[in-house]
């Protein structure tokens, strides 16, 4: 099989893997395509909730025809017995002749073992095709596995002159197409985070409001050191439908503790979980331990700057609208012209009148 053909089928597997981003719990959203004589016999993505895995589903579709076929998988097939037998064994049993994978699985229960099972059975295994694309597609899973924290995406909407808005005044910076795009990014994330400033100013709901995607709303987190999120806010009032976490990060010793206890109890009684942590890093460890692999940080400037200062930003998305704010504007900590050197532009798209830039930390 030619390299061009390999890339074509792996490209299909990578696109499939994107379908269930944010919906596979602690399992990665993996794509698998089974091919023989240039024909796709079976294709699948990790099921909702994380099981069954892509390989076993694709093999089921291919059936007997999988014998002698090539399996394209975006990540090394698993080798550990969980609720079901490992995918590496399923590929052996199905009699595939060759397995192509983009990356080894950093999960210590798998790493290299999946490949070894296949090779020991006489299957040709090629690892490393389209690695960069796979690192991008599996970025959330890989970050949680290797750094015990979710992959963090910072999103900022900035004006043509690099401002976030004007203090005390709502300014619509981007149009409906760019805002719909934000809802897609929310849906692909396990959790979404804003600062208390944004929560108080905008009273957002932070749910996914695209037709047919309402069930994909991620956990909502408010960074709120003094527990100021009002009980009457849209977030708190919907906490029993879509979970809300109020995260108090930093030193709170100087605060009046009885009042703090009252606010903590009021939030808890409304169905909000209160997490109190020393640092952002510690908060992210807790989230990672709860199988949150991707965190979408939606403003504002203070929160973005805090994540950035702690070296906790992996991706940055800037939506730039055509409006100019001018005098009295709030300057964005990040703009296309001051992006740090270790962040590379990987995507630039136009949504109506708005430009969207996506940067990622060099990999
Ligand atoms: Zn598996």
DSSP 77: P
Q: Which residue has the tokens 């203070």?
A: 302
CA of 247 to the centre of ligand 1 (A): 34
CA of 43 to the centre of ligand 1 (A): 14
CA of 210 to the centre of ligand 1 (A): 31
CA of 243 to the centre of ligand 1 (A): 29
Alpha-carbon gap, residue 296 to 186, rounded angstroms = 7
CA of 42 to the centre of ligand 1 (A): 16
Per-residue confidence band for 170, with pLDDT thresholds at 50, 70 and 90: low
Q: Are 294 and 21 in contact (CB under 8 A)?
A: yes
pTM: 0.88
pLDDT higher than threshold 90 for residue 117? yes
Alpha-carbon gap, residue 123 to 231, rounded angstroms = 59
CA of 77 to the centre of ligand 1 (A): 5
Active site (catalytic) residues: 55
Alpha-carbon gap, residue 56 to 44, rounded angstroms = 9
CA of 57 to the centre of ligand 1 (A): 10
Alpha-carbon gap, residue 171 to 300, rounded angstroms = 13
Element (H, E) at 142: helix 139-147
Alpha-carbon gap, residue 200 to 216, rounded angstroms = 24
Average pLDDT of the residues in 233-258? 92
CA of 27 to the centre of ligand 1 (A): 9
Would you call 355 helix, strand, or coil by DSSP?
strand
Min mean pLDDT across 13-17, 196-200, 245-249 is at 196-200
CA of 359 to the centre of ligand 1 (A): 31
> What's the pLDDT tens digit per position in 31-90?
999 999 999 999 999 999 999 999 999 999 999 999 999 999 999 999 988 777 899 999
Min mean pLDDT across 100-104, 167-171, 209-213 is at 167-171
pLDDT higher than threshold 90 for residue 173? no
Per-residue confidence band for 318, with pLDDT thresholds at 50, 70 and 90: very high
Per-residue confidence band for 363, with pLDDT thresholds at 50, 70 and 90: low
Whether the upstream peptide bond of residue 48 has omega within 30° of 0, thus cis, is: no
Average pLDDT of the residues in 23-33? 92
Most confident of 10-24, 89-103, 150-164, 286-300: 89-103
Per-residue confidence band for 257, with pLDDT thresholds at 50, 70 and 90: confident
Given this model, what pLDDT does residue 184 score?
86
Q: How many CA atoms lie within 13 A of 73 on its CB side?
A: 32
DSSP 308: H
Given this model, what pLDDT does residue 251 score?
87
Q: Say what percent of the chain tops pLDDT 70.
A: 98
Given this model, what pLDDT does residue 328 score?
85
> What's the pLDDT tens digit per position in 75-102?
999 998 877 789 999 999 999 999 999 9
Q: Are 313 and 154 in contact (CB under 8 A)?
A: yes
Residue 57 backbone zone (phi > 0: left; psi -120 to 50: alpha; other: beta):
alpha
Per-residue confidence band for 1, with pLDDT thresholds at 50, 70 and 90: low
Alpha-carbon gap, residue 186 to 180, rounded angstroms = 10
CA of 2 to the centre of ligand 1 (A): 26
Q: Are 28 and 75 in contact (CB under 8 A)?
A: yes
Min mean pLDDT across 46-55, 202-211, 227-236, 271-280 is at 202-211
| Burial of 291 per CB tally in 10 Å (0-12, 13-18, 19+) | middle
Alpha-carbon gap, residue 229 to 235, rounded angstroms = 9
Task: Write the DSSP assignment of 86-109 as a string of letters.
Answer: -HHHHHHHHT-SEEEESS----TT
CA of 349 to the centre of ligand 1 (A): 35
Task: Write the DSSP assignment of 315-354 as a string of letters.
Answer: EEEEEE-S----TTEEEPS--TTS--TTEEEEEEEEETTE
CA of 1 to the centre of ligand 1 (A): 25
């Amino acid at each position: 099989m030619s390299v061009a053909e390999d890339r074509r089928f792996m490209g299909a597997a990578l696109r499939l893997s994107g379908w269930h981003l944010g919906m596979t719990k602690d399992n990665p959203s993996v794509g698998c395509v089974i091919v023989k004589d240039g024909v796709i016999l079976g294709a699948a993505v990790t099921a909702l909730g994380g099981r069954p895995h892509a390989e076993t589903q694709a093999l089921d579709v291919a059936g007997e025809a999988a014998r002698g076929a090539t399996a394209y998988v975006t990540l090394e097939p698993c080798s550990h017995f969980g609720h079901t037998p490992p995918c590496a064994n399923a590929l052996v049993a199905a009699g595939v002749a060759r397995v192509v994978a983009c990356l080894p699985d950093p999960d210590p229960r798998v790493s290299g073992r999946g490949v070894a099972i296949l090779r020991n059975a006489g299957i040709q295994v090629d690892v490393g095709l389209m690695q960069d694309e796979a690192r991008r597609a599996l970025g959330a899973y890989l970050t949680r596995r290797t750094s015990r924290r979710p992959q963090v995406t910072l999103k900022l909407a900035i004006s043509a002159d690099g401002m976030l808005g004007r203090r005390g005044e709502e300014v619509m910076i981007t149009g409906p197409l760019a805002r719909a795009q934000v809802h897609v990014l929310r849906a692909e994330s396990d959790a979404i985070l804003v600062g208390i400033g944004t929560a108080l100013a905008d009273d957002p709901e932070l749910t996914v409001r695209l037709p047919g995607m309402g069930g994909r709303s991620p956990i909502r987190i408010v960074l709120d050191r003094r527990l100021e999120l009002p009980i009457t806010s849209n977030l708190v009032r919907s906490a029993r439908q879509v979970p809300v976490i109020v995260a108090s990060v930093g030193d709170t010793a100087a605060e009046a503790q009885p009042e703090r206890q009252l606010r903590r109890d009021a939030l808890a009684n409304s169905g909000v979980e209160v997490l109190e942590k020393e640092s952002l890093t510690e908060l992210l460890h807790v989230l990672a331990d709860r199988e949150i692999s991707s965190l979408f940080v939606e403003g504002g400037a203070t929160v973005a700057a805090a994540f950035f200062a702690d070296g906790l930003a992996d991706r940055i998305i800037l939506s730039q609208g055509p409006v100019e704010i001018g005098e009295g504007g709030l300057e964005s900590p990040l703009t296309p012209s001051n992006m740090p050197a270790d962040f590379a532009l990987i995507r630039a798209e136009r949504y109506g009148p708005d430009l969207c830039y996506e940067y990622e930390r060099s990999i």
